Structure 1
Amino acid sequence: MKNLDLGELRGQLDEIDGQLVRLFEQRMKICADVAEYKIETGKAVYDGERERQKLEAVGAMAHGDFNSQAVQELFSQLMTVSRKRQYQLLARHGKGIDTGFQVIEAIQTSGARVAYQGVEGSYGHGAALQFFGREASLYHVTAMEDVMAEVEEGRADYGVLPIENSSAGAVSDNYDLLVKHNNYIVAETQLAVRHALLGLPEARLEDVELVYSHPQALMQCSQYLNSHPQWRQISLENTAAAALKVTRDGDCRQAAVASEIAGRLYGLKVLAPGINHNKNNTTRFIVLSREAVYRKDASKVSICFEGLHRSGSLYNMLGNFIFNNVNMLMIESRPIEGRSWEYRFFVDVEGSLGDAAVQNALKGISEEAVSMRILGNY
C-alpha cells in the first residue's frame, strides 16, 4: 500500500460518504413507497421478525466479528429512521394515533369536589387550595391511593397528588398509581415547601427525642435532623398528620416536621423554622380527572411505556422524539411488578396532543412498545 497523507485519506472518505448519502436517499424513497403500500393495506409499520432476519443477513455479509456487529448496529439505526419516516407519512394520510382525548376550554374549579391526601394543613391541602381556591369543596382521604379511587369511582371530580420534589426527587409510588388507575393528569401546580420543627407550646428543643413526618419531608430535612443523632426519626403518612399526633399525644419529647400553617392549625410552637436544606424546595403536584381531556393551552404531555427487554429498546423508543423534534423534559423508570429487572418508563415532553410532531412521536412509540399509555396533556 502506497503512503497516503491525511488529506488524501479524508478525500477518499468524503467520496465514500457522498455515495452513502445518495444510497441512503434511494433507500428512503423506497421506504416511502413501502409506507404507501402499508397505507393501502393497513399493514403495520413495525415487523420485528423481518428486522431480526435483516440484521442477521447483513451481519453475515461483513468480514470479522467487529464489522459484523457494527454493520448490524448501522442497519438497526437505518431501519429505525425508515420507520420514523413511515410513521410521518401514515399520519399525513390520517393514519396517526387516536389519543382518545378531547379538547376543553378550561378546568372548572368553582364548586368542584376535590380529594387530597392527608389532614387539613398538609401540603396536599395547600396545593389543592392553591389550584382550586376556596370556591371548591376540598376534602381529605387517608392514603395516596384513596385519592385515585375517589376520582376513578366518581366521588371526586378531581384529585391532587404530589409527583416530584425538587430536593427528594420523584414520589415513586404515585407513578405506580398512575398505571394502576384509569385517571388522567389535567393540570399541575407547584407549591413552595418550607418545613419547620414543631412541638408543644411548653416544649423546648432539648426535650425532643422523637421526630415524626412523611418520609419525603424527613429526607428533605435530613441534614438538620441528622445533626441531632439522638433524635429518632419516625415516618408517618403525612406531615400534617405528624403535627396532629404531637398535639393529641401531648408529649414534650415528640416533635413534627410540617408547615408552620399546620403548626398554627394544631396549636404547636415552632422549635426551629425553615429546616429543609434546600431553601428553594418545591413540590410539583398533579391534578387528576377520570375524563380524558386537555386544555387548549396545554403544553406538556406525560406518557408511560414498556419496551422490549433487549439492547437498544429504550434508545429506539426515545428516537421517536428526536426525529420529530419533540423536546423531552423528564424520564423516570419504575420496576414492573412480577418481572424482575424489567422496567416501565415515564416520560414528559413539551407539546400538545393536537401537535402533529407529538402525534407522530406517540404513533411510533405505540407501534414499537410492548404497551404505551398517555397519562395526560396539561
Structure 2
Amino acid sequence: MQSKNDLLHFRSEINTIDTNIVKLLAKRKKLVLNIAQSKIKNNKPIRDKKREESLLNELTKLGKKNHLNPSYIKNLFELIIEESVLIQTKMLQKNYHYESKNTPNTNFSFLGPKGSYSHIAMLQYIKKSKIQYTEKEFFNFEEIVFSVENNISDYAILPIENSCSGLIDEAVNLLEKTNLFIIGEIKISINHCLVATKNTKVNNIKNVYSHPQPFKQCSNFINRFPQWKIQYSKSTSSAMKKIVRLNSNTNAAIGNEISAKIYGLKILLKNLSNKENNTTRFIVLSKQPIQFSLKIPTKTTLIFKSKYNLKNIFNKLNEKKIKIYEMNNKLEKTFFIDIKDNILSNIAQNTIIEINKISNFLKILGCYATGNIITENK
C-alpha cells in the first residue's frame, strides 16, 4: 500500500515534468517565430499540410511504442500545430501590406448617429487596420451603399450577420444588387441594454425604441413585457436620441452602453440578448476588390440563386470550410456562402464550378482577410 509520502513524491515528479513541458513549449514557440521570419523572407506559405501529416504519423507511432493512445497524441499535437500556425499568421499579418486608398482624406460611411453598433465596429476596424479617415454617417443601408457607389465615400461598413438572429436580409439584398466588393470584416460582441432617462423605472415604461435587429435578438426579454409598444428606429443610437428629445419616463431604448453614455442615459438592465455570447459580423465594402496573398487567412463570400437541392453539391465537395445560408423559400432560392479560404484555392474554385452547374446567377462578393471578435469597450 502506498503511503502519503509516496503520493507526494509522485505528484512532485509530475509537477517537474509539467514544468519542463511548458518550458519546451516556450522553446518551441521561439523556433516557430524564427520559422515565420524565414517564410516571410523567402515568400513561403504558412502551412505545409504534407509535413503536418507526416509529423502526426511519426508522433502517433512513437506514442504507440511508448504505450500512449494514438488519438491522444494526435489531438495533442494538432492543438500545438494550430497554435504554431496562429503565431506565424499574426507575424505575417504584421509584415503584410497592400496598396489601398488609406490617405488622410479617406471617407468611411456607417449607420449613424455616432455611438451606434455600426459606428463602434467602424472605429474598431479602423483601429485594427490603421486607416486615416473621415467619418460620414447615414441613416439607412441604401444610403451607405449609395455613398460608395457614387464616390461620396471610399469605404462603407454594414452589419451582415448576428449570432442570435442570423443573416441580415436587408444587407444581403443590397449585396446582390450593388457593384461593390467585400474587402474586410470585423466581429464585435454585442451587449444590448435597456436604457432610459434618469427618473425612468421599468414598471413605468410604455414605449421601447430600437432598430429592428435588437428586437429580434432580445425577443425573449421583450416577450416578458407584452404591454410595451415596440417603436422601430433607424439605429440604436437614433433611438436613444429620440427618447432624450421626448424626455418622458414612459420611454426606453435598447442599445449599447457607449451610446447610453454619449446621450446621458441611465442603464436599467444589461445583457438582454437571447444568447449569452451575442456577436455581430460587419463587412467593409469598396468599389475595388483587394487581392490577398495565399499565405494570408482569407474568406471568400458568394451569393447565388438556384431551384435545385444543394445537398448533392456539398456532399460532393465534402468540405468543412463551406458555410451555406438559405435566404428564403421561393421557387428559386437565394443562397449566401462563406468559404474559409482564398478565392484562388481549390476549395473555392471547385465550389464555383459546381454552383455554376445548377445556377443561372452567381456573384462573387469578395475575398478578404478574416476578422477577429472585438469586445465592446465599456
Shorter chain as denominator, the TM-score bin is 0.5 to 0.7
Question: How far does residue 376 in structure 1 lie from its aligned partner after superposition?
Answer: 0.6
Determine the C-alpha separation between the residues in 2 that align with 1:363 and 1:104: 31
Partner of 1:120: 114
Determine the C-alpha separation between the residues in 1 that align with 2:344 and 2:276: 38
Equivalent of residue 225 in structure 1, options 218, 222, 227: 222
Question: How far does residue 332 in structure 1 lie from its aligned partner after superposition?
Answer: 2.9
Residue 317 of structure 2 corresponds to residue 321 of structure 1: yes
Determine the C-alpha separation between the residues in 1 that align with 2:125 and 2:101: 11
Partner of 1:330: 324
Partner of 1:372: 362
Structure 1 pair 109–225 and aligned structure 2 pair: CA distance change class (3 A): farther
Verify the 8 A CA contact 2:164 2:278 in the aligned structure 1. Answer: yes
226-235 vs 264-273, which moves further: 226-235
Unaligned stretches of 5+ in structure 2?
1-95, 369-378
Determine the C-alpha separation between the residues in 1 that align with 2:272 and 2:165: 14
- Report the aligned-residue RMSD: 2.3
Structure 1 pair 216–329 and aligned structure 2 pair: CA distance change class (3 A): same
Determine the C-alpha separation between the residues in 2 that align with 1:215 and 1:110: 35
Structure 1 segments of 4 or more deviating over 3 A? 106-111, 315-322
Q: Which amino acid aligns with 1:105?
A: Y
Unaligned stretches of 5+ in structure 1?
1-102
Question: How far does residue 110 in structure 1 lie from its aligned partner after superposition?
Answer: 5.9
Q: Which amino acid aligns with 1:321?
A: L
Question: How far does residue 367 in structure 1 lie from its aligned partner after superposition?
Answer: 4.9
Which residues in structure 2 correspond to 1:195-344 (within 5 Å)? 195-296=192-293, 297-307=296-306, 309=307, 311-312=308-309, 314-318=310-314, 321-322=317-318, 325=319, 327-334=321-328, 341-344=331-334
Partner of 2:98: 105
Partner of 1:355: 345
Determine the C-alpha separation between the residues in 2 that align with 1:107 and 1:249: 44
Q: Which amino acid aligns with 1:117?
A: L
Determine the C-alpha separation between the residues in 1 that align with 2:103 and 2:186: 17
Determine the C-alpha separation between the residues in 2 that align with 1:281 and 1:229: 23
Determine the C-alpha separation between the residues in 2 that align with 1:229 and 1:360: 50
Equivalent of residue 124 in structure 2, options 130, 133, 141: 130
TM-score between the two structures when normalised by the length of structure 1: 0.65
Determine the C-alpha separation between the residues in 2 that align with 1:106 and 1:194: 35
Determine the C-alpha separation between the residues in 2 that align with 1:306 and 1:229: 39
Structure 1 pair 252–110 and aligned structure 2 pair: CA distance change class (3 A): farther
Determine the C-alpha separation between the residues in 1 that align with 2:354 and 2:274: 42
Partner of 1:183: 180
Partner of 1:60: none
Verify the 8 A CA contact 1:185 1:375 in the aligned structure 2. Answer: yes
Determine the C-alpha separation between the residues in 1 that align with 2:350 and 2:180: 24
Q: Which amino acid aligns with 1:114?
A: F
Which residues in structure 2 correspond to 1:85-104 (within 5 Å)? none
Deviations 1:86-107 (A, max 9, x none): xxxxxxxxxxxxxxxxx98265
Determine the C-alpha separation between the residues in 2 that align with 1:326 and 1:222: 31
Question: How far does residue 142 in structure 1 lie from its aligned partner after superposition?
Answer: 1.0
Determine the C-alpha separation between the residues in 2 that align with 1:105 and 1:373: 24
Partner of 1:77: none
Q: Which amino acid aligns with 2:335?
A: F
Determine the C-alpha separation between the residues in 1 that align with 2:269 and 2:359: 50
Verify the 8 A CA contact 1:299 1:350 in the aligned structure 2. Answer: yes
Instruction: Indicate the percent of aligned positions where both proteins have the same amino acid.
Output: 30
Question: How far does residue 186 in structure 1 lie from its aligned partner after superposition?
Answer: 0.8
Verify the 8 A CA contact 2:324 2:335 in the aligned structure 1. Answer: no
SS in 1 for 2:237: helix
TM-score between the two structures when normalised by the length of structure 2: 0.65
Question: How far does residue 222 in structure 1 lie from its aligned partner after superposition?
Answer: 2.0
Question: How far does residue 109 in structure 1 lie from its aligned partner after superposition?
Answer: 5.0
Q: Which amino acid aligns with 1:119?
A: P
Determine the C-alpha separation between the residues in 1 that align with 2:172 and 2:251: 32
Determine the C-alpha separation between the residues in 2 that align with 1:301 and 1:187: 10
Structure 1 pair 354–274 and aligned structure 2 pair: CA distance change class (3 A): same
Question: How far does residue 294 in structure 1 lie from its aligned partner after superposition?
Answer: 3.3
SS in 1 for 2:136: strand
Aligned length: 267
Determine the C-alpha separation between the residues in 1 that align with 2:143 and 2:187: 21
Verify the 8 A CA contact 2:327 2:334 in the aligned structure 1. Answer: yes
Partner of 2:72: none
Question: How far does residue 274 in structure 1 lie from its aligned partner after superposition?
Answer: 2.4
Question: How far does residue 304 in structure 1 lie from its aligned partner after superposition?
Answer: 1.2
Determine the C-alpha separation between the residues in 1 that align with 2:265 and 2:102: 32
